[in-house]
Amino acid sequence: IAGITQAPTSQILAAGRRMTLRCTQDMRHNAMYWYRQDLGLGLRLIHYSNTAGTTGKGEVPDGYSVSRANTDDFPLTLASAVPSQTSVYFCASSEAGTQYFGPGTRLTVL
Amino acid sequence: ELKVEQNPLFLSMQEGKNYTIYCNYSTTSDRLYWYRQDPGKSLESLFVLLSNGAVKQEGRLMASLDTKARLSTLHITAAVHDLSATYFCAVDAVGGYQKVTFGTGTKLQVIP
C-alpha cells in the first residue's frame, strides 16, 4: 500500500511559470488537503476537499488552485509562480480526523 | 480565528531526562492531534485526543487533553536520542476536519 504519493519530489521553477503538483492516495479517503511548510510558520492550509467534486479555501489560498475530479487525485496548481511560493508542499488525506501525509514536494521559485 | 501555540519552540535535553511540551489553543475544539516530523521527512500521526481528560501513551510519550483549559501536553519520559524530531500539535475547530490548525512545532533535540 503506497498511501499518499506526491510528484515531483523537488522542482526549481522560474517565476511566472505554471506548475502543477500532483497528489494521489490509495486509501479511498474522502478528505484531502494541501499544506505549505515554511520555517518558523509550521504548516498552513492552502486548500482542502471534503469529497470528490468539492473544494474549499484554507488559510493561504491566493496564487493556488485545486481540483478534485475523483477520490484519489488532488492536484495543486500554481498559475504563475512567484518567489514567495518557495516552500515545501505536503498533501494529506484524512480518515476520522487523523491526517496522513505524503512525502512532500520541495519547490524553489527563482 | 483559531490560534494554536506551542512552547517551547526549541528544546534541547539530555538522555534520561523528563520534559513536557505544551499546546494551547484559543477556541473550543472537537479534537486535538499530535504529529512527529523527522528532519527532511513527512509528518507522522502520534495521538488523537477526543475528549476532556483523554490520556494516551505510546512508549516514552504521553499526551493529555484538558478542554476546559484549552491545553494539551506531550510528556516525554526518560528521553532517548531517537525521540529527536519536531513535534506538532493540531486542533480541529468545531464543525469540520477542514478547519485543522497546526501549531508552529517544537523542535526536540535529545543529547546522548
Q: Kindly list the residues from chain B whose CB atom is less than 8 angstroms away from the CB atom of residue A59.
A: 101
What phi, psi does A68 have (nearest 5°)? Answer: -145, 80
For chain A, what are the domain ranges? 4-109
CA nearest to B5 within chain A:
A42
What phi, psi does A9 have (nearest 5°)? Answer: -70, -40
Q: Which of B88, B97, B105 sits opposite A94 (nearest CB)?
A: B97
Instruction: Give the three-class secondary structure for B97.
Output: helix
* CATH (one of 2.60.40.420, 3.30.457.10, 2.60.40.10, 1.20.58.340) for A4-109: 2.60.40.10
Comparing C-alpha atoms, which of A37, A36, A98, A30 is closest to residue B34? A98
Kindly report the nearest CA distance between residue A18 and chain B, in angstroms.
25
DSSP B41: S
Place of cell 518557495: A86
DSSP labels, B50-65: -STT-EEEETTEEEEE
pLDDT at A39 over 90: no
Give the pLDDT of residue B99.
67
pLDDT, tens digit, for every residue of A10-36? 999 999 999 999 999 999 999 999 999
Domains and CATH numbers, chain B: 4-111 (2.60.40.10)
